[in-house]
């Protein structure tokens, strides 16, 4: 499970089995887990995060979206 970024106590990563899904990033930290779509930055699912954490996660994904998409395509190419 390649880690793409660590920021604000969150780890942004994907799983090798994610190949057949649209590009997305998994997020863990602060007792929560989430999945965020990268084509159009949008929360796919989440649990255990506060609304503040979710807002920050979406902000980070938007800021680093290109880096995450490149990592996705490099890994699954």
Q: Which residues contact 11 (CB under 8 A, 6 or more apart)?
A: 3, 5, 27, 28, 29
* Number of domains present in the structure of the chain: 1
pTM of the model: 0.95
Structural domain boundaries enclosing 49: 3-76
What is the spatial distance between Cα 8 and Cα 73, in angstroms, rounded to a whole number?
25
pLDDT at 31: 95
Say what the pLDDT of residue 1 is: 79
pLDDT at 24: 98
Ordered strands of the 32-37 beta sheet:
3-7, 10-13, 24-29, 32-37, 42-47
Per run of 10 residues, the mean pLDDT along the chain (length 77 residues) is 95 95 97 97 98 98 98 94
pLDDT of residue 77: 87
């Amino acid at each position: 499970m390649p880690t793409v970024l660590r920021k604000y106590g969150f780890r942004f990563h994907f799983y090798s089995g994610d190949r057949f899904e649209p590009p997305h990033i998994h997020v863990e930290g602060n007792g929560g887990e989430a999945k965020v779509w990268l084509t159009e930055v949008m929360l796919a699912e989440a649990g255990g995060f506060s609304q503040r954490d979710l807002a920050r996660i979406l902000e980070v994904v938007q800021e680093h979206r290109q880096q995450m998409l490149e990592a996705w395509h490099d890994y699954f190419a």
